[in-house]
Amino acid sequence: MLNKVIHSDILQKKRKLDSSKEESTSPTCINGNIKTNYFSEYEQKYMEKAFELANEALQSNEVPVGCIFVYEDNIIAIGRNMVNETRNATRHAEMCCIDQVNDFCKKENLNFIAVFKETFVYVTVEPCIMCAAALYDLKVKSIIYGCKNDRFGGETVFNVADVLKPVTTRKGGYRADDAMNLLKLFYQGVNPSAPSSKLKRKFKETT
Ligand SMILES: [Zn+2]
């Protein structure tokens, strides 16, 4: 299903670039600073898609984080946390997307370094230390996110930018309360549609 969505977006490559794209590339976010309370229509559109994926993660009993990567006005990767499903602690939404971009580049015969440099990352929660380091290292153009990540945040807990001095611009705060509430729902184990898994019971016992 993921490939289908990505493929359909790639097919839209020829559509004309509208003015909203120009908005996203204008200097509304300043390198090193997080600007809140301003999100262009273009950014809002993609953040809403990221929220859809976060909700999907919650329904699948995964930490509700959703993410999409956009390159030349096309969605080239969509991801959500898959840590429980894959039993792999590195399968964060952003990491899933990075793998998809690599596949996309191979398929389209594109240079992945050049593609990442022009890629916008939309994610519902501030990237963790691991993901922030990876995204900075890949030199993605911009990261737009929802709520802060008080447990593992690559800015909030440990500022990876101090070490890697990224070219990536960042800004957060889009529907931050909603993004945080999704996390709370998960950690409180109150997802009404999730099966009563071991994980859910574990959280109930510890909270
Ligand atoms: Zn992460």
Q: What is the pLDDT of residues 79-131, one digit of tens each?
A: 999 999 999 999 999 999 999 999 999 999 999 999 999 999 999 999 999 99
Choose, from 43, 62, 94, 126, the residue flagged as catalytic: 94
- Return the percentage of the chain with pLDDT > 90, whole number: 71
93: CA distance to ligand 1 center in Å?
7
Question: How far is the C-alpha of 125 from the C-alpha of 153, rounded, in Å?
Answer: 9
153: CA distance to ligand 1 center in Å?
8
Q: How many residues are listed for the chain in this entry?
A: 207
160: closest CA among 180, 174, 143, 182?
143
207: CA distance to ligand 1 center in Å?
23
Helix runs in 145-190, H state only: 160-164, 176-187
The per-residue pLDDT for range 161-205, each reduced to its tens digit, is 999 999 999 999 999 999 999 999 999 886 545 454 544 444 444
pTM greater than the 0.85 cutoff: no
Catalytic residue check, 118: no
